[in-house]
Amino acid sequence: MSDTPATTDPVIVTVAPYGEVTPRGAIFGGWILAQVDHAAGLAGRKITGGDVVIVSIKELTFHGPLYAGEEFVMTAEETRRGNTSFNLSITAVAEPDTQARQIMTADVLLVAVDGEGKPRKLSAQ
């Protein structure tokens, strides 16, 4: 599957590590899931101006393999906002020297929390 690079600003830009490959040469899905966690947290803090926690990953789809040494770019876009919770659409692409390839998409539900870990009200968008 070929895609153009994302239109939103990247949340994470890294290189897929050689130490996280499967015997077939692709990056372990667990490493990619950890990057989803990082991206959601970083984007959530920017969106809400404070701490957030992931409640659920409502849907995650792997579209293709990520290989060691490829540039890995994740973007996040807010798709829904409630009183204390919001959803992010997270997209990841591999950007090797050739055309970008979509690696995964996810719908992540987060809650904004205060210093005690209790839900806090979000400002209107």
| pLDDT at res. 103 | 97
- The residues spanned by each domain of the chain are 10-112
Helix (H) or strand (E) holding 18: none
What lies within 8 Å, CB to CB, of 78 at 6+ separation is: 43, 47, 86, 87, 88, 125
Considering the segment(s) 10-112 as one domain, its CATH architecture is Roll (3.10)
Q: What is the pLDDT along the chain (125 residues), one digit of tens a residue?
A: 344 444 578 999 999 999 999 999 899 999 999 999 999 999 999 999 999 999 999 999 999 999 999 999 999 999 999 999 999 999 999 986 778 999 999 999 999 999 999 999 998 76
DSSP type of residue 113: B
Query: What is the C-alpha separation between 11 and 19, in angstroms, rounded?
Result: 22
Task: Give the type of residue at 49.
Answer: G
| pLDDT at res. 98 | 72
The answer to whether the beta carbons of residues 97 and 43 sit under 8 Å apart is no
The pTM (predicted TM-score) of the whole model is 0.88
Q: How many CB atoms lie within 10 A of CB 97?
A: 6
